[in-house]
Structure 1
Amino acid sequence: MSESTEPENLEDVVGGLESLGEENGEVSLGDALDAFGHRSFSPLLIVLPLVEISPLGGIPGFPTVLATIIALIALQLLVGRDHVWLPDVIENRKVDGRKLAKGMHKLDKAAAWIDNHIGDRLDWMLKGVWPRIAAHVILLLCLSVPPLEFLPFASSVPMIAVACIGLALLVRDGLLLLGAMVLGGGSMIFALNTLLSGSGSG
Structure 2
Amino acid sequence: MTETNKREHEHDCLEQVIDGVVELGDNQSKVSVGDIQNKIGQRSFGPFLFVPAIIEISPVGGIPGVPSMLALIVALFAIQMLFGRHHFWMPGFLAHRSVSGQKLEKGLNKIRPVVRWLDKVSNKRLDWATSNSFLRVIAVLCVVLATSVPPLELLPFASTAPFSAICLFGLGITTRDGAAIVLGLIVTVGAFVLAGMGLIG
Q: 1:106 to 1:62 in 2, by over 3 A?
A: closer
Q: How far does the alpha carbon of each residue in 1:135-178 deviate from its partner, in whole angstroms, 9 at most, with x for none?
A: 01111111222332332221211111111111111111001101
**C-alpha distance in structure 2 between counterparts of 1:62 and 1:23, whole Å:** 21
Aligned residue in 1 for 2:76:
72
**C-alpha distance in structure 1 between counterparts of 2:88 and 2:61, whole Å:** 24
Q: Say if 2:177 is the partner of 1:173.
A: yes
Correspondence for 1:49 among 49, 53, 60: 53
Aligned residue in 1 for 2:5:
none
Superposition pairs for residues 1-202 of structure 1, below 5 Å?
7-58=11-62, 61-195=65-199, 197-198=200-201
Q: 1:40 to 1:104 in 2, by over 3 A?
A: same
2:12 is aligned with what amino acid?
Answer: E
Q: Is the 8 A contact 1:41 1:84 kept in 2?
A: no
Q: How far does the alpha carbon of each residue in 1:12-67 deviate from its partner, in whole angstroms, 9 at most, with x for none?
A: 11221123334444432222222221353322312212333344545555433322
1:184 is aligned with what amino acid?
Answer: T
2:67 is aligned with what amino acid?
Answer: P
Deviates more, 1:111-120 or 1:186-195: 186-195
State the shift of 1:179 in Å.
0.8
Secondary structure class of the residue paired with 1:191: helix
Identity value in percent: 41
1:142 is aligned with what amino acid?
Answer: A
Q: 1:91 to 1:40 in 2, by over 3 A?
A: farther
Q: Is the 8 A contact 1:39 1:82 kept in 2?
A: no
2:149 is aligned with what amino acid?
Answer: V
Secondary structure class of the residue paired with 2:99: strand
Q: 1:146 to 1:171 in 2, by over 3 A?
A: same
Q: 1:30 to 1:158 in 2, by over 3 A?
A: same
The CA RMSD over aligned residues, in Å, is 2.5
Q: What TM-score, normalized to structure 2?
A: 0.82
**Count of paired positions:** 193
The structure whose Rg is larger is 1
**C-alpha distance in structure 2 between counterparts of 1:83 and 1:100, whole Å:** 25
Deviates more, 1:48-57 or 1:153-162: 48-57
**C-alpha distance in structure 1 between counterparts of 2:133 and 2:141, whole Å:** 13
What are the ranges of 5 or more consecutive residues in structure 2 without an aligned counterpart?
A: 1-7
Secondary structure class of the residue paired with 2:132: coil
**C-alpha distance in structure 2 between counterparts of 1:66 and 1:19, whole Å:** 20
